[in-house]
Chains A and B, each alone.
Chain A
């Protein structure tokens, strides 16, 4: 019997949302339109229209060593051109952000090739070849995993994911990279991800309502959906905990769990 890939257990809404984001067959919903020039400006790695800098000659030039693995793996577009590796980093608020850093890692690794991602308490960095990164960044700013108020694009000083929201409902940012625009009722970025002031304001749309976010989030919370209310998820967590406690790095040696 062919193996059918499984993603996450559970029946509650965060469990279903986790499964959905991880499944590469599910097309994520696009919620807003941000031009690619603006995405490039927000990241601040190059100026829009500027050539991509390279760190090695294009693979097609044939200067690669004779290696069976290199022949086996199809390079991503940026690797073909020898692009630099650049990054984008998202911070997700604990106040029902659409996704949280750990699920971002699962989602990225499940959906993309040629990436390196790192999870920290409140932020998730993704490193990839520059031209591929720009496409991915645009996708992730425009789709349902991004919320204008509760997701931040922050390269450094990401502090804020576990802070209370401000009076406008925006996640705290010590560098105030984004502001609330009361006229348009949207959030606008005025600094790039490392706080360099932008030459124009970049609008990333209106924040979703808390009601909607509570339905969409992947976060289990005592004041939302409690993880203990999902029997299957709890069982799975207990099993991992037990295997890790009893077996350390050799969980397969623990019998009867």
Chain B
């Protein structure tokens, strides 16, 4: 008998919006952008990636010392606490849409949020950039 993997996949390749920012975003900007996305309908999930900020100094003679990076902190998104562990540089937004008109409208709203909060520019693309059903790696450690 096997357990279910922790991630929830749509099972079908829904469209995904990839936003690559020109500069790595501070926690404050990430918070504003995510709260902007909160208002938009048809967003199934948002995944972020960027450069990792370790909690502790992870090598060298001071290994184990607290890192105290000012950008590694908890932000509020839609009233919930989200712990940021990276300096965010990419957003992957999975959209739960069925036709092109709704897709265009939703992407337009996403772009407007980015225009309002991302000062140094970004690149927005529509496609499919991550998997949509479980694979063997999802069962690792289950």
- A: which residues have CB within 8 A of B? 155-157, 159-160, 163-167, 169, 172, 174-176, 179, 194-197
Contact = CB atoms under 8 A, between A and B. Distances in A.
17 contacts: A157-B58, A157-B60, A163-B89, A164-B21, A164-B89, A166-B26, A167-B24, A167-B119, A172-B24, A174-B52, A174-B53, A174-B54, A175-B57, A175-B67, A175-B69, A176-B68, A179-B70
A141 to B, nearest CB: 20
Contacts, number: 62
A166 B70 contact: no
B67 A172 contact: no
B2 interface: no
Interface string B47-74: 0000111100111111001011111000
B29 interface: yes
Contacts of A159: 51
Task: Assign chain B's interface to a size class.
Answer: 20 to 34
A167 B25 contact: yes
A156 B23 contact: no
Nearest to A163: B51
B67 A176 contact: yes
B93 interface: no
Nearest to B65: A195
A172 B87 contact: yes
B67 A195 contact: yes
B22 interface: yes
A197 B51 CA distance: 22
Contacts of A175: 54, 57, 67, 69
Interface of B: 21-26, 29, 51-54, 57-62, 65, 67-71, 87, 89, 119-120
A197 B22 CA distance: 30
B42 to A, nearest CB: 29
Nearest to A192: B62
A164 B65 contact: no
A92 to B, nearest CB: 17
B67 A196 contact: no
B57 to A, nearest CB: 5
Given A164-B89, A176-B69, A195-B67, A155 B25 contact: no
A165 B24 CA distance: 6
Contacts of A197: 68
